Amino acid sequence: MNSGKYVFAQLIEFLPQKTFQRIVMKYQGDKYIKSFSCWNQLLIMMFGQLAGCESLRELVCIISAHAPKTYHLGFGKSVITRSNLAKANANREFNIFEEFAYKMIAIAQEKRISKDFEIAGRFYAFDSTTIDLCLSLFWWASFRKTKGGIKMHTLYDVVTQIPAFLHITEAKVHDMNAMDEIPYEPNAYYIFDRGYFDLARLFKIDIIGSNFIIRERGKLQYEIIEGEDLLDSSDNIIYDQTIRLTGQQTIKKYPILLRRVGYYSVERSTRELSLT
pLDDT tens for 202-257 read 999 999 989 999 888 888 888 888 876 655 556 677 778 888 889 888 899 999 99
In this structure, the answer to whether residues 206 and 223 fall within a common structural domain is no
For position 23, what pLDDT does the model report? 93
In this structure, the answer to whether residues 249 and 262 fall within a common structural domain is yes
The answer to whether residue 43 sits within a structural domain is: yes
- Could you report the per-residue pLDDT of 123-137, keeping only the tens digit for each? 899 999 988 888 877
Angle at Cα 150 formed by Cα 145 and Cα 151, nearest 5°?
120
Could you tell me which residue, 1 or 214, shows the higher pLDDT?
A: 214
In this structure, the answer to whether residues 178 and 148 fall within a common structural domain is yes
The answer to whether residue 112 sits within a structural domain is: no
In this structure, the answer to whether residues 208 and 240 fall within a common structural domain is no
Residue 216: name the closest of 248, 188, 241, 234 by CA.
Answer: 241
In this structure, the answer to whether residues 36 and 64 fall within a common structural domain is yes
Q: What is the CA radius of gyration of the chain?
A: 24
The percentage of residues in the chain with a pLDDT greater than 70, rounded to a whole number, is: 90
The answer to whether residue 12 sits within a structural domain is: yes
**Residue 38 identity (one-letter amino acid):** C
In this structure, the answer to whether residues 206 and 133 fall within a common structural domain is yes
In this structure, the answer to whether residues 206 and 239 fall within a common structural domain is no
For position 31, what pLDDT does the model report? 87
Per-residue pLDDT, averaged over 105-132, amounts to: 78
The answer to whether residue 1 sits within a structural domain is: no
For position 159, what pLDDT does the model report? 83
Range of the domain at 40: 7-101
Task: Measure the CA–CA gap between 249 and 258, rounded to whole angstroms.
Answer: 16
Per-residue pLDDT at 6 exceeds 70: yes
The count of structural domains within the chain is 3
In this structure, the answer to whether residues 194 and 223 fall within a common structural domain is no
For position 120, what pLDDT does the model report? 65
Per-residue pLDDT at 22 exceeds 90: yes
The kind and range of the H/E element at 43 are helix 38-50
In this structure, the answer to whether residues 209 and 245 fall within a common structural domain is no
What Cα–Cα distance (Å) separates residue 31 from each residue in 25, 34, 139? 9, 9, 31
In this structure, the answer to whether residues 209 and 239 fall within a common structural domain is no
Question: Of 67, 101, 135, which residue constitutes the final position of a domain?
Answer: 101
pTM of the model: 0.73
The answer to whether residue 146 sits within a structural domain is: yes
- Could you report the per-residue pLDDT of 23-36, keeping only the tens digit for each? 999 999 888 888 88
In this structure, the answer to whether residues 156 and 173 fall within a common structural domain is yes
Question: Of 45, 74, 101, which residue constitutes the final position of a domain?
Answer: 101
The answer to whether residue 42 sits within a structural domain is: yes
Mean pLDDT computed over every residue of the chain = 84
The answer to whether residue 111 sits within a structural domain is: no
In this structure, the answer to whether residues 222 and 257 fall within a common structural domain is yes
Task: Measure the CA–CA gap between 101 and 2, rounded to whole angstroms.
Answer: 31
The answer to whether residue 164 sits within a structural domain is: yes
Q: Residue 172 maps to which CATH number?
A: 3.30.420.10
